[in-house]
Amino acid sequence: MRVKKLQVTNYRALRDATLNFTDTTALIGENNCGKSAFLQALDLFFAASPRITARDFSDDNVSAPVDITVHFSEFTPKDLEEFSGNLLDGELVVTRRFYADNPKESGKFFVSAKVNPDFSECRNEEGKTAKTNLYKVLQEKYDLPKVSKADDIEQHLIAWEEANPKGLQTEKLAGFKGWTNVASGKLKQKTDFIFIRAVEDAEENIQASKNSPVRNLVDTIARQAIENSAAYKAFIEKANAEIAELTNPEKVPVLSEISGRLTAMLAEYYKDSAIQATWEPITEIRPNFPTANIEVTDNSFTTSIDGVGHGLQRAVILTVLQFMAEHRANPEGKEDNFAEPQSDIILAIEEPEIYQHPTKQRLFAKLLKRLAKGFNEKTGIRIQVLYVTHSPLMVSLSECETIRMIRRIPSNIEVNEIALENCSKQSAIMSGRKPQDAWSGPQYGAKLHTFRSEIAEGFFGKCVVLVEGVGDKAVLEAWYKLADRDPHAEGIVIVEVSGKNNLDKPIIIFSALNIPNYWIFDNDKSEGAAKKGSLKANKILQRLAGVDEETCVDWPEGVFSKFAVWDYKLEEYVKSRVGELAFNAARDEVAADFHIDADMCLKFPAASSAMLLLLKTAGHQFPELDSIIEKIDDLVAA
């Protein structure tokens, strides 16, 4: 089964936060905004021996518990066999609760179910006599059948609720439908969680130790592959039947003699007392699985993994994942291939890009996406990926649905996500089409592949400035430089999109993720209405800024709160402010200094800065550029 949703309350920065999952989910946001806390909460949920301290409670609020609730979906056949009776609207919803001052109760699991709230006191009662007395009271009100022992009560309460679904309420129950207490072992029968931490733990993570995530990953792959095989299942079924037969007390006479012998001995002390010893046969064997010893040979020197550099250590992780990614598909037609997933690995990675060159980062991003697509038909293993990243090479505009933007707000954190289906409908509306005529989400996503990878930097900015071409970008960056400001240091990302008709999609996507954005374009009036799409694009870009339809114009011009527009190219604006004579003189001087063609002087930031400095020193002013920077500052400060 896979994780569909994670809800966390009172844990570190996550006072009350929800995160929705896809096959691959990328968490991005500024440092200390709570990204890693989501991964750590999942790790705590799945931990066999969880550790929690008072500092893990939000704002040191130890009076309230930490609740970590996981919504599971996409079940394997074994999951359905185990949990089908506990599904809530098609999901398995399990909460693990932690207390600061109650170690006995801390770490217990609860299943969300629709129940009769009047049954809760009886359900929660641990004493059998008291439980039976409470049940008798319920019998009078709900016409429940009689019971001979307390252990039979739960099945009658469940039967009544199934027959009377109206009026039931959702509650978290510690014992329900066969579970006296949900244990992490039960949840992990066919689902394993592996957490690979960030740089400060890199050596601990990969060294050849029992708790190494790399070793855990390799061992988990081996164990799941063995467990899922038909031969193993047949062997276990046969072995369980034989061990049950061999340990059946009726087949071992000496066991029946023990009670008599113990009673005879006890009679020497208490004549009227007896000892009854009974045995349950063993019905299940627990086999051990092979474990990996990991060493690396580097330049003819063999050592344990903690003996090599961090870059090579992280490369081992990449290598294991690449192996898994390359074995996602198998030849069809083989009888031993699985038709559906048999087990799951949930892989959480902090900053997979650490110590990797850009080309390796891109490879890592592709690997993670391939890992989470489909499942391995040969082994039956399916993988879900969750990662925290600070690298634009690990995300892309075309796969923005996988991104979760995490931000701190005064009392909590917020999580923003995007649905391409909704973006497509907004594009249709902005274009004057009906929402039902919009492209599908995948069709819309396919059109995003034309954008250059640099646009992904916008996901990490405090504000994204979208411009038509390289000249626009060069002039704006040069004006920042002349103001003794660095947009990169301020979190302002300036991106060129190769034309006005490409502006609307990134505007919609960045806005959906609540990333402030500003756009600069030419209205193309000087080229007339004959230029293809200009009038339509001008209207669309005004609508995206919230301009009323009545006030939208064919040829907008000026600097506004969300956009700036010229009636000619930005380079031509510079010429119009200084005059052709001064423009040509400055351009020729810069072209000679930089050894470039004259028409390239406003295409590069350094040359643009030099040319604008010459013009500014000569007394020329560019108030529109100053106004644009002010509007961008307003968006950043908002």
Q: How far apart are CA 341 and CA 225, in angstroms?
A: 11
Task: Look at 170-184, 291-305, 501-515 and tell me which has the smallest mean pLDDT.
Answer: 170-184
Which pLDDT band holds residue 184 (cuts at 50, 70, 90)?
low
| Distance separating alpha carbons of residues 65 and 501, to the nearest angstrom | 52
> Amino acid identity of 35?
K
- pLDDT, one tens digit per residue, over 580-607 is 999 999 999 999 999 999 989 998 889 9
Q: 245 falls in which pLDDT band (50, 70, 90)? A: confident
Contact 4, 21 (CB under 8 A): yes
**Which pLDDT score is estimated for 207?**
42
pLDDT at residue 637 in the model: 92
pLDDT of residue 144: 93
Most distant CA pair in the chain, distance: 123
Q: What are phi and psi of 18, to 5 degrees?
A: -130, 135
- State how beta strands 169-173 and 492-496 pair: unpaired
Closest to 12 in 3D by CA, of 53, 69, 70: 53
Nearest Cα residue to 470 out of 504, 502, 494: 494
Whole-angstrom CA distances from 214 to 45, 87, 601 are 20, 33, 52
Percent of the chain with pLDDT over 90: 53
Mean pLDDT confidence for 237-248: 85
The secondary structure of residue 281, as a DSSP letter, is: P
pLDDT band at 327, cuts 50/70/90?
A: low
How large is the average pLDDT for residues 7-11?
Answer: 97
The whole-number pLDDT of residue 175 equals 60
Question: For the residues 436-452, what does the mean pLDDT come to?
Answer: 90
Which residue has better confidence, 222 or 504?
504
Cα–Cα distance, 417 to 401 (Å, whole number): 7
Q: Is pLDDT above 90 for 556?
A: yes
18-32, 268-282, 421-435: which has the minimum mean pLDDT?
268-282
Taking 50 as the threshold, does the pLDDT of residue 209 lie above it?
Answer: no
Report the alpha-carbon distance of residue 495 to residue 547 in Å, rounded: 23
> Do 563 and 580 touch, CB atoms closer than 8 A?
no
- Please provide residue 299's backbone torsions phi and psi, each rounded to the nearest 5 degrees: 55, 50
Q: pLDDT tens digit string along 27-60?
A: 999 988 999 999 999 999 999 889 999 999 998 8
For residues 408 and 41, what is the distance between their CA atoms, to the nearest angstrom?
17
pLDDT over threshold 80, residue 525: yes
At residue 210, the pLDDT reads 47
pLDDT tens figures, 349-376: 999 998 888 988 898 898 899 889 888 8
Between 427 and 267, name the one with better pLDDT. 427
Cross-strand pairs, 493? 464
pLDDT band at 333 (very low <50, low <70, confident <90, very high): very low
Section 207-223 average pLDDT: 70
The reported pLDDT for the residue numbered 633 is 97
Pairing of strands 92-98, 66-73: antiparallel
Q: Identify the pLDDT of residue 490.
A: 95
The average pLDDT across 431-436 equals 89
The pLDDT confidence band at residue 392, using thresholds 50, 70 and 90, is very high
Burial of 281 (0-12, 13-18, 19+ CB in 10 A): middle
Read off the pLDDT band of 494 (50, 70, 90): very high
Q: Is the pLDDT of residue 259 over 80?
A: no
CB neighbour class for 308 (10 Å; exposed up to 12, middle 13-18, buried from 19): buried
Name the pLDDT band for 324 (thresholds 50, 70, 90): confident
Residue 269 predicted with pLDDT over 80: no
Q: How much is the pLDDT for 158?
A: 87
Give pLDDT, residue 309: 65
Rounded to the nearest integer, the mean pLDDT of the chain is 87
The residue ranges of DSSP E strands in 202-342, in sequence order, are: 295-298, 301-304
**According to the per-residue pLDDT averaged within each range, which of 184-198, 286-300, 382-396 is highest?**
382-396
- Please state whether beta strands 563-566 and 517-522 pair in parallel, antiparallel, or not at all (unpaired): parallel
Supply the pLDDT for residue 308: 62
Comparing C-alpha atoms, which of 13, 57, 7 is closest to residue 32?
Answer: 13
- SS3 for 602? coil
pLDDT of the residue at 613: 94
Give the pLDDT of residue 177: 56
Model confidence at 319: pLDDT above 90: no
- pLDDT of 447 over the 70 cut: yes
CA dist list (Å): 74 to 23, 59, 182, 344, 374: 11, 36, 19, 10, 12
Q: Which of 34, 42, 169, 176 has its CA nearest to residue 96?
A: 42
Tokens 């693990």 identify what position?
96
Residue 199 pLDDT > 80: no
* Average confidence (pLDDT) over 407-430: 92
